[in-house]
Structure 1
Amino acid sequence: MVIWFKSNKFLVALILLIIPTFYTLLRPGFFWMQDDLQAFRIHQLDKCIQDLQIPCRWVPDAGYQYGYPQFIYYPPSVYYLGEIFNLVGFQFIDAVKILFILGFIFSAITMFIFLRSLLGSWPALVGAILYTYAPYKAVDVYVRGALSEFWAFVFFPVIFWSIYQLIKKGFVKYLAWMGLSIGLLLFTHNLMSMIFLPIAGVWALLWLILEKRWQVLTKLILGGVLGIGLAATFTLPVLLEKPYVHIDSMLSGYFDYRQHFVNLEQLFLSNHFGYGSSYLGSGDDLSMTTGVIHWAAGLLAVALGVLNFRKQKKLSLVILTLAVVDLLVLFLIHQKSTFIWEHLSMLTWLQFPWRILADSIFLLSLLGALAVYLIPQVKLAKVLGVALIAAVMVFYGGFFKPYQWYDISDADKFSGKSWEKQLTISIFDYLPIYATLPPTSKAPLQPEVLEGQVSFSSYQKGSNFQKGVLTAGELSLIRLPLYDFPGMEVKVDNQKITHWNNDCRGQEFCLGLITFKIPAGQHILEARLNNTPVRMIGNLITLTSIIVLGVLIFLSRKHAKNHR
């Protein structure tokens, strides 16, 4: 044990130094956040797991309990991890806190491992601390509660590390790591993937040029394809089944990107930290800064790169390239970049241009580590590193704390007004297209009888199904408390029947609920969300990619064993 601590002293120091970012979460209860659906999402995914709905796509209680295609469109990976903690006995709210804590720890460790492979342990420690104490990370956790986006930080360094190692060494195991990390990023936050993977492409091209190892290009392409394949079960439906839900509310009003550009003072000079929201203008009560210390470290890296260009040509070119990329990233956060946003319509899905700060934080932390590495005198490099670590901990450490703390349990979270609120938060997002507007009241426990006479002896609502036993006195028309959606199938006595969604009698506005006729007699009824061709193809591609990943891991271990 002593030997392990000595050989991993920098890693141990890193863990100890980042404890202040999350120690306030190590207590009973829960904390305020803007996206207060994190525990609810794990709670709903738990119902999917209990029903063996894997992968989870449809959840039963969202949409005022009419059901919702939550995980067809919202990245689910972090919630699967949260479900593991729930299954071993933790409360849902505790699982959320654990996930945030692990996000801090894992992102720091992956950054450290990446930087250590590139620059050594001391610069790696400094860079990992910069990466952890970025103000925007405090915003993600303690203001926005953006769990999935926060976890994307874990995979940025792994992608850069695997690309670098694959180009330098060409081993199959790095191809596997590249595919796995890209797949996990896509499965964790598709929007973060959209803005980070092009930067990873620049990183790959840069090292291909510097190392002149173009023979590795095929492996890099295969790694990218493998990553896309691993996440296909999510990415294919989210791309191709987008027309089946209302998305206008996600891109208009408050969520229109034009309202959320950041000015230069906010971006570079402000040290304000608030728990409010982002608005048009400079009056935001929200930190949207890169961090003065972070960009100062980045500038120092550029200066050292220029001064050391002859001695450290490769790293100097790396620094200058990363600096240019970071400037482009920061430009996209400023209003002057509107013309780019107008021409690249996919950027509008980001909603908030300042989300791109995630990329800048990663790049500036990498540049800060490079600055420490390029200091020629060892003592001076240590002094600079200590100064950077101390500065971010002093200036930004106070940001990492909850706004309010609630002494509650799962029982409190999922009952009363709190439960009612969670059923309707973000109800406009991903509303099935057959509904004109969201419901104004909770779904009934049993189907409505629109015509005829029907009595139910039993009725059950599952995660992606509803079923029951009924007796119809005559040919009857019933309407289920369940949204219609592509893949929904209704069976009576195990025989598929035709249903429709446009009989909206008695409704203030059409909800697009499943409606069908049923003959006289006793019947067994079941409505269930099945796979569409797109979902089946996505599942098949992901399953195939998992097998390929397993083969690559097997081959890499066999290769390592043969070369011991």
Structure 2
Amino acid sequence: MKIRILLFLIILSVSIFLWSKNLNPFSDRMFSFHDITQFARVSEFTYALQTFQIPPRMAPHFSYNLGYPVFNFYAPFSYWITSLIHLTGFDVASSIKFSFLLSLILAFIFMYKFLKLFFHFHSSLLGAALYSFSPYFAVEIFVRGSLGESWFLTLLPLAFYLIYRNSRSHSVILFIITAFTLSFTLTSHNALSLLFLIPLFFYIFTLSNIKKNLFVLFSALLLSSYFLLPFLTEMSLTYAKEVAKLTVYNQHFLCWNQLWYSPWGYAGSAPGCNGDGMSFMIGKTQIIAGFLGILLFFYNLIRKKQNYYFKIFFFIFLLGLGSIFLSTYSSTAVWEILKPFFSILQFPWRFLVFGIFAVSFFGAYVIQSKSFFIKVLTFVLIITAIFYNAKFFTKTDLKKEEINKSLLSEIYIQQAAYNIPEYLPKTASREEWLKFSPEKNNFSSLLNQKFIQANDNQKVTVMKDHDYIKSAKTSSSNLRLNIHYFPYWKIFINNVSYIPKEFDRLGRPIIKSDKNEKTILLKYEQTPVENLGNLLGIGAIGIFILLTLNRKLWKTMS
């Protein structure tokens, strides 16, 4: 046992050393990636936490301080993690590196724990190395810079592990941990988290104690309601659907050979088999080991040597095969049939997250013997997987000073919304709003505005101008409030609620009234739907407390 612990720590330490060469949060170097608004989003999410706007829903400084409901629709889990790191004293760039590094470390540990349910030590260690060192994991971090997808990859094996454990345990604590973990997974990425519900549902039916696991899934959905409910019901108030249609998914299918080899690069996805500027390799070691594992699985199936876990293994095989198939041109007909649902993914290659999970699982399956020779061979495969793929986990082309000067400057944060235009409220004209994008260099009139402006040139006395509450006195009969109106903004005129009906082309409310002096109060309050989502999450926690205190009730339910 001590030798196994030592070997595990050695392999994990070597992995951390290789990952941290470019993800060291104490280094003054940083790397660029596709999603450059990550820095501004982490900064704004942290600001919301510091000002006790929990859960964060609006980025108050986005879109020239008009406010932008990005966190209402952007899966928040990775931002909770990264912003909490930021609050401990790390700067934004270091917090992002730390978050990515932590996601890799935990992915290794969680995959090992899941595999250990079915395989012996050496097999599980191999599968964990194959999973966490897949080139596609490196793409998520060093090419795309996707905090959400990297954390989804991290939580996926943990979710499967805990669901399995929950089906066999009578522990209320484990039940609660499982519910929270599933909630984290369901709020880690917009599209993948919703898609995850399908395999999760089928996985539950491969296990015992189905009702209990369905209840834990229901509890997780309640916990996630603070995000999922507004995400599903208020998305129509933005341009998300219209912008999503601009991505033509059938231009981003993969060819089968790209899974084995595609040139490494830091550009984007393009139509065809040879035009991509980024790689979609699953990993040569991963594919070889996984393919041999699948052959062995079916060999055992033919010889009727399957064990108790056959249903689980077959489920993972179907998950992997189906996911990889759906990422390729071969699945075009299926995508056309399921277009209304699949189109939310935008890029078919997103299915690879499930593919590398399954390939790594069967890479562990291939190691069945505990002989000395097989143990040596296993460690050769582990070392090969780690050191061969380590070269992909690298990129340092920026100093953190450059990040602070450019991607965290006041003007960049104000303009960051133009990189995520889908969440512009529909009270604004998208065409008009785009005229003020950084490229047009036509935005000076939107800088340093007061929150309220009199269109008839009457005097306005601003009494308070905070990000979440603002007030002013004026006799003007024609006012404009400098916000993108969204239902979380509440307007009061002389303490009487006022719902605007007229807006300018940027979605800014126009208030027309008499010329008497009046007090205008503008404050941010969560909408009824958002509050309902919060209450459902609190209700789930209340259920957990009740089950913990009332052992008889828990015993009946479990």
Q: TM-score, normalised by structure 2?
A: 0.89
- Take 1:114 and 1:550, find their aligned partners in 2: how far apart are those partners? 28
Matched, 1:203 2:199: no
Deviations 1:214-241 (A, max 9, x none): xx11101101101111100100111111
Q: Equivalent residue for 1:549?
A: 544
* Contact kept in structure 2, 1:301 and 1:319, CA below 8 Å: no
Going from structure 1 to structure 2, the CA distance change for 1:498 and 1:301 (only over 3 Å counts) comes to closer
Q: Equivalent residue for 1:485?
A: 486
* Contact kept in structure 1, 2:65 and 2:414, CA below 8 Å: no
Q: Equivalent residue for 2:496?
A: 495
Going from structure 1 to structure 2, the CA distance change for 1:304 and 1:34 (only over 3 Å counts) comes to same
* Contact kept in structure 1, 2:63 and 2:416, CA below 8 Å: no
Going from structure 1 to structure 2, the CA distance change for 1:316 and 1:411 (only over 3 Å counts) comes to closer
- Alignment map for 1:243-254 (pairs within 5 Å): 243-253=236-246
My pick for the range that moved more, 314-323 or 160-169, is 314-323
CA deviation after TM superposition for structure 1 residue 201, in Å:
2.8
Q: Equivalent residue for 1:470?
A: 473
Residue 454 (structure 2) aligned to one of 438, 449, 453: 449
My pick for the range that moved more, 170-179 or 51-60, is 170-179
Q: Equivalent residue for 2:534?
A: 539
Q: Equivalent residue for 1:507?
A: none
CA deviation after TM superposition for structure 1 residue 245, in Å:
0.4
Going from structure 1 to structure 2, the CA distance change for 1:418 and 1:484 (only over 3 Å counts) comes to closer
Secondary structure, in 3 states, of the residue corresponding to 2:422?
A: coil
- Alignment map for 1:49-448 (pairs within 5 Å): 49-206=49-206, 208=207, 213=208, 216-253=209-246, 255-267=247-259, 269-282=260-273, 283-309=275-301, 310-315=304-309, 318-344=312-338, 345-372=340-367, 374=368, 376-402=369-395, 404-408=397-401, 411-412=404-405, 413-415=407-409, 418-419=412-413, 421-426=415-420, 428-437=421-430, 438=433, 440=436, 441=443, 442-446=446-450, 447-448=452-453
CA deviation after TM superposition for structure 1 residue 409, in Å:
6.6
Going from structure 1 to structure 2, the CA distance change for 1:220 and 1:407 (only over 3 Å counts) comes to closer
- Take 1:349 and 1:188, find their aligned partners in 2: how far apart are those partners? 15
Secondary structure, in 3 states, of the residue corresponding to 1:64?
A: helix
* Contact kept in structure 1, 2:63 and 2:415, CA below 8 Å: no
* Contact kept in structure 1, 2:427 and 2:506, CA below 8 Å: yes
- Take 1:230 and 1:94, find their aligned partners in 2: how far apart are those partners? 29
Going from structure 1 to structure 2, the CA distance change for 1:366 and 1:239 (only over 3 Å counts) comes to same
CA deviation after TM superposition for structure 1 residue 270, in Å:
0.7
Deviations 1:532-554 (A, max 9, x none): 23212211111111222344566
State the identity %: 26
CA deviation after TM superposition for structure 1 residue 315, in Å:
4.5
Going from structure 1 to structure 2, the CA distance change for 1:132 and 1:60 (only over 3 Å counts) comes to same
The residue type paired with residue 363 of structure 2 is G
- Take 2:171 and 2:459, find their aligned partners in 1: how far apart are those partners? 66
- Take 2:225 and 2:74, find their aligned partners in 1: how far apart are those partners? 14
Secondary structure, in 3 states, of the residue corresponding to 2:534?
A: helix
Query: Which structure 1 segments of 5+ residues have no match?
Result: 505-509
- Take 1:117 and 1:553, find their aligned partners in 2: how far apart are those partners? 27
* Contact kept in structure 2, 1:176 and 1:552, CA below 8 Å: no
Matched, 1:527 2:522: yes
Secondary structure, in 3 states, of the residue corresponding to 1:534?
A: helix
The residue type paired with residue 136 of structure 1 is Y
Q: Equivalent residue for 1:17?
A: 14
The residue type paired with residue 456 of structure 2 is E
- Take 2:3 and 2:383, find their aligned partners in 1: how far apart are those partners? 23
CA deviation after TM superposition for structure 1 residue 459, in Å:
4.7
CA deviation after TM superposition for structure 1 residue 524, in Å:
4.0
- Take 1:88 and 1:292, find their aligned partners in 2: how far apart are those partners? 39
- Take 2:128 and 2:147, find their aligned partners in 1: how far apart are those partners? 20
Deviations 1:324-370 (A, max 9, x none): 33111111011221222223212111111111111111111111112
* Contact kept in structure 1, 2:471 and 2:519, CA below 8 Å: yes
CA deviation after TM superposition for structure 1 residue 430, in Å:
0.8
My pick for the range that moved more, 110-119 or 53-62, is 110-119
The residue type paired with residue 123 of structure 2 is P
Matched, 1:512 2:510: no
Q: TM-score, normalised by structure 1?
A: 0.88
* Contact kept in structure 2, 1:261 and 1:353, CA below 8 Å: yes
CA deviation after TM superposition for structure 1 residue 388, in Å:
2.1
Deviations 1:228-283 (A, max 9, x none): 11100100111111210002453233x2211110011112x215211010011121
Deviations 1:449-500 (A, max 9, x none): 21251223445141xx34133332xx42111110111232101343322423
- Take 2:127 and 2:514, find their aligned partners in 1: how far apart are those partners? 69
Secondary structure, in 3 states, of the residue corresponding to 1:32?
A: coil
- Take 1:358 and 1:226, find their aligned partners in 2: how far apart are those partners? 25
- Take 1:80 and 1:276, find their aligned partners in 2: how far apart are those partners? 28
- Take 2:359 and 2:547, find their aligned partners in 1: how far apart are those partners? 33
